[in-house]
Amino acid sequence: MKRNSIRLAMRRVRRMSSEEKYPVVGRDEYDVTESVKLDGPPGHGKTEQIKRRTEEFLKETDSTIHNVMLGTYRRSLSQDLINTFEDGELLPPNFSLQSSYMGTIHANCDKIIRKKTDLNISNKATGYAQKLFCQKHGLKYFGDTKQELTGGKALFNIFTWMVANKATPEQVPQYKYDTVRDACDRHIDIRRLWQEWQQFKQNPPIHKFNNLEEGDELYDFDESLLIVSQRELVPENVDLLIVDEMHDVYPVMNDVIQMWMEKMEDTTFIIAGDKNQVINQYQGTSPEFYEEVNLPEIHLPDSYRCRANHLEYAHSILSKHFEPPRVENCRGGGSITSVNASRMEYDNRRSEWRVPSSLNSPSSLYEEHVDDEETALYLVRTNLQAEAVAKDLERAGIPFESDSVNDWKDSGLLDLYNGLCTIREIPSDVEYTWDSGFALNLGDDTEIDGDELLAVLDATPAEYVADSKLDAVNVAEGIESYPLDNLHNFFEESFFAEVHANPVGLLLNSVDKKKLAHLADKHSWTRIHEDGIRVKLLTIHASKGMQGDNVFLYDGIPKRIQDQIEKSPEVDKNECRTWYVATTRASDTLVVVRNAFDGYEPSPYLPPIQTANGSSQSGVVHQ
C-alpha cells in the first residue's frame, strides 16, 4: 500500500517553521520564564515544547545555552533532546557536551560530585566487580546462556532495587527474594550479603582491577544520586533546568529533583512527563512522583503522531484501569491490522529459536507493509522474544538496530559488508603498478572507510593479505580512510579477483557467512549507510520516546509475568500502561501479531481489533 500523498503532505508540514508548527502552548497563562509541568500523552510534542520554551526563555533573558541543564533517565532520550536542540540551532558549533549539564541525571550528578567533592565517583561497581563478589560467596554470576538468570544476577537485581528505592533488606518484596532463592536453589541471607557488599566496595581487591589504587572505593550506579541528595549538592549557574520523562524517576532520583526544586529558588524548571507512561514499576517508579510535582500544569492537547483509530485502540487498553487522557486534535487515516503468525519455538537444548519462513513472519510483514524510506519498529515484551524476530530479519537480509540483541553494527557485519561493496568497485582485471597503484577511473577522492577496511582485513585469510596480517591490522586501526588505488599495500593481487568471484566464500569461517550472504542477496552488493537503517527491534520498555511509520507489536508475555499480574494489583496496572505505550508508537500502520511465540501467554490487555462493520476478526485491516 503506497502512501505518496501522505508523504507529500508531511513534507509540506516539515517546511513550516518551528514557530508556526509548534507555538508555545500555555504561554498566555504561564510565561516562558515561569516554572511549569508539561503534561503530554504519547506523541503530543513534549520534546518540541521543551525546545520552544527553551528558545523563548533564552530570547527573553540574559541566559545562554550554557546556563541550561537538561536531565533525563535514559541516555537515548537525552540524546534525542540534544539532537532536537542541535536541529533548532540552540547549540553553538563549539558547544562542549562534556563540560555542560546536558545529559542523563546520573551523568549530571557525577559532574556535580566531581566539582564539589573529592570523591572519585568514576569507579563504578561494574559487572566484573559483581562477578568477583559472587565468586567469593560461591554464587554463579554468568550463565550458560544470555537468558539464564543466575543466583548472582538475581542477587544484584535486589541490591540495585534497594539503592534505587532507599530500601533495607527487610523491605525486599517476597517475590524478589523468591527469585533469588529459586535461582540459587537455597536460602540466601540478603542482610549479610548486603553488608558484605558494602565492605567489598569500600575495600575492593585492587590487585584484581587495572584502574584502582590504594584507598579507592567502588560506587553503585545510583549512589551518585544518593550522594547529591544527601549532601544537597546543586549545580551552579543554572537558570533553566529541564527534566524530561519525569514519569521514569524512582525514589532516589525523585529526591534529587525535589531537592533541586526546593534549593534552586531562582531557577526556572520545566518538568515534562505523563503519568500513564509509568512502566518501570519493578524498578520503583510510580505515577505519584510525577503527580506530586507542585508546579502549574500545561496539558498538551494535540497528537502529532498517533492516528485517531490508534488512539481509540490504545485508550481501550488504558481504560481497564485508568481514565484515558483528553485529546483535542489528532491525525486521521492510518490502519490497524491483527494477524496470526506461525509459531516460533524455543529449543532449550540448543538455546536457539526455530523460526519458520512463512506467512506473517517478521520479514514477510516488512515486505508487505514497509515502503521505501519508511521506518519500522518491531516491539516485543522480552529480550528472548527479540532473538526470534532477529533471526528471521537476518535470514532475509533486513538490517536493523537493537538494544536487545546484537545488531548489524554491533557484530561488525555491516562494516564488513560495506567494505566489500567498496572494494568491489575495483575491477577484477584492473592493472596496477607498485609505483602508482591501481589504474582506476573512480575519481581522486574514492576511499574506503577505516573501520570498514579493518573489518575486511580481520575477516580475510592471511594468504590474501600483503606481508604480515598483524602488521596490516595494526596500521588499519589508525586510519580514518584510505584511497582505493593504494589497497595493493594491504592485499595480494589474488584477493581482488576473489572479491568478485567469491566474496563470501573467501572469508574466514569465523565470519557469519550465511548472514552476510543474505545481506548481499537482499541489497545486491550496494552499500547500506548506517543512518539509512530504518528498522529497530526493541522491547516495549526500550521503545519509550520512539516512533515508527510502521509498528509490528508482538502479543505474548512469559508465564512468570502473567503470574505476577495475577498476584499483584500494582504489576497489573504497570503491565496495562506498558501495552498502552506499545500501541502509541506508530505514526501510520500498527500491526498486532498474535500467537507468534510458543510457550507465551496472550496479553490480557490487547483486545480484538474492531473492523469497520463492528466484528472482531484477526487479519482484517481497520482504516
Q: For cell 507555538, what's the residue?
A: 23
pLDDT-derived band at 595, boundaries 50, 70, 90: very high
Write the Ramachandran bin of 201: left for phi over 0, alpha for psi from -120 to 50, otherwise beta: alpha
Distance separating alpha carbons of residues 204 and 192, to the nearest angstrom: 17
pLDDT on residue 600:
94
Instruction: State the average pLDDT over residues 475-489.
Output: 85
**Residue 482 bridge partners (DSSP):** 448
The answer to the question of residue 597 being in a domain is: yes
Helices (H), 304-358: 308-318
In a domain, 262, yes or no: yes
- Does position 8 have pLDDT exceeding 50, yes or no? no
Phi first, then psi: what are they for 120, rounded to 5°? -95, 80
Q: What is the mean pLDDT of residues 2-21?
A: 42
Model pLDDT, residue 14: 40
Instruction: For residue 434, give the amino acid letter.
Output: W
Task: State how far the Cα of 108 lies from the Cα of 302, in Å rounded to an integer.
Answer: 32
Distances in whole angstroms, Cα of residue 398 to Cα of each of 55, 182, 549 = 39, 39, 17
Burial of residue 231 (number of CB atoms within 10 Å: 0-12, 13-18, 19+): middle
pLDDT tens for 321-342 read 999 999 998 888 889 999 999 9
Q: How confident is the model at residue 20 (pLDDT cuts 50, 70, 90)?
A: low
How much is the pLDDT for 6? 37
Q: What per-residue confidence (pLDDT) applies to 2?
A: 34
Out of 530, 552, 586, a domain closes at 530
Same domain, 538 and 618: yes
Q: What is the DSSP string of 77-135?
A: HHHHHHHHHHHTT-S-TT--STTTEEEEHHHHHHHHHHHHS---TT-B--HHHHHHHHH
83 and 147, same domain (yes or no): no
Do 542 and 517 share a structural domain?
no
pLDDT of residue 613: 43
Q: Is 599 among the domain residues? A: yes
Q: For residue 437, how far is the Cα from the chain centroid?
A: 44
* Final residue belonging to a domain, choices 491, 512, 530: 530
pLDDT score at 15: 36
Rounded CA separation 423/431 (Å) = 15
Chain segment 208-257, per-residue pLDDT in tens: 998 899 999 999 999 999 999 999 999 999 999 999 999 999 999 999 99
Percent of the chain with pLDDT over 90: 65
Q: pLDDT digit string (tens) for 518-549?
A: 888 888 999 888 777 899 999 999 998 899 99
Question: Given this model, what pLDDT does residue 622 score?
Answer: 38
**Helix, coil or strand: residue 350:** coil
Q: Are residues 268 and 394 in the same domain?
A: no
Specify whether 62 is located in the same domain as 80.
Answer: yes
pLDDT score recorded for residue 149: 85
Alpha helices in 396-506 (DSSP H): 413-423, 450-459, 469-476, 493-501
Q: Say if residue 47's pLDDT is above 70.
A: yes
Q: What angle do CA 211, 217, 223 make, to 5 degrees?
A: 115
Of residues 478 and 38, which shows the higher confidence score? 38
H or E element, residue 538: strand 535-539
Residue 245's CB: how many other CB atoms inside 10 A?
23
Residue 621: name the closest of 305, 355, 309, 351 by CA: 309
Count of domains for the chain: 4
User: Which region among 18-27, 91-100, 104-113, 467-476 has the lowest average model confidence (pLDDT)?
Assistant: 18-27
- Report the mean per-residue pLDDT for the chain: 88
CA–CA gap between residue 318 and residue 321 (Å, rounded): 6
Which residue type is seen at 10? M
Q: Report pLDDT digits (tens) over 119-168.
A: 989 999 999 999 999 999 999 999 876 667 899 999 999 999 999 999 99
563-583 pLDDT, tens digit each: 889 988 999 999 999 999 999
**H or E element at residue 561:** helix 559-567
Residues 555 and 578 in one domain: yes
Confidence category of residue 492, pLDDT binned at 50, 70, 90 = confident
**Count of H-run helices and E-run strands, the chain:** 22, 21
CB atoms within 10 A of CB 112: 22
Structure-model confidence comparison of residues 427 and 292, the more confident one: 292
Last residue of a domain, one of 530, 555, 587: 530
Surface-to-core class of residue 469, CB atoms within 10 Å of its CB (0-12 exposed, 13-18 middle, 19+ buried): middle
Q: Do 77 and 133 share a domain, yes or no?
A: no
Return the C-alpha torsion angle 169, 225, 40, 311, nearest 10: -40
179, 149 contact by CB (below 8 A): yes
Let me know whether 523 and 542 are in one domain: no
Mean pLDDT of 480-489: 85
Asked if the structure places residue 320 within a domain, the reply is: no
SS3 (DSSP) at 471: helix
CA distance 558 to 602: 9
What is the separation, in whole angstroms, between the first and last Cα of the chain? 12
Residue 573: the pLDDT is 95
Neighbours of 229 (CB within 10 A): 21
> How sure is the predictor about 12, in pLDDT bands with cuts at 50, 70 and 90?
very low
Buried b (16+ CB within 10 A) or exposed e, 592-617: bbbbbbeebbebbbbeebbeeeeeee
Exposure b/e, 358-384, CB count within 10 A at least 16 = b:
eebbbbbbbeebbeeebbbbbbbbbbb
- At residue 443, the pLDDT reads 52
| Model pLDDT, residue 434 | 55
CA–CA dist 167, 175 (Å, integer): 15
Please tell me which of 260-264, 402-406, 487-491 the model is most confident about, judged by mean pLDDT.
260-264
Is residue 307 a part of any domain in this protein? no
pLDDT: is 238 or 622 the higher one? 238
Say if residue 258 is in the same domain as residue 399: no
> How many other C-beta atoms are found inside a 10 Å radius of the C-beta of residue 211?
8
Same domain, 26 and 108: yes
Q: pLDDT band at 117, cuts 50/70/90?
A: very high
In a domain, 54, yes or no: yes
CB 342: neighbour CB atoms within 10 A? 15
Mean pLDDT of 605-617: 66
Specify the CATH number for the domain of residue 539.
3.40.50
Write out the three cell numbers for 602: 496472550
Least-confidence region, from 97-101, 271-275, 288-292, 614-618: 614-618
Contact 378, 540 (CB under 8 A): no
- Sequential DSSP letters for 181-234: HHHHTS---HHHHHHHHHHHHHS--GGG-SS--TT---B-TTHHHHHHHHHT--
Query: Is 155 part of a structural domain of the chain?
Result: yes
Q: What is the pTM of this model?
A: 0.82
399 and 423 both lie in a single domain: no
Q: pLDDT class for 431, splitting at 50, 70, 90?
A: low
Give phi and psi for 537, each to the nearest 5. -115, 115
605 in a structural domain? yes
- State the CATH number of the domain containing residue 54: 3.40.50.300
What is the residue range of 186's domain? 127-218
- Whether the pLDDT of residue 4 is over 50: the answer is no
Q: Is the domain of 265 the same as that of 291? A: yes
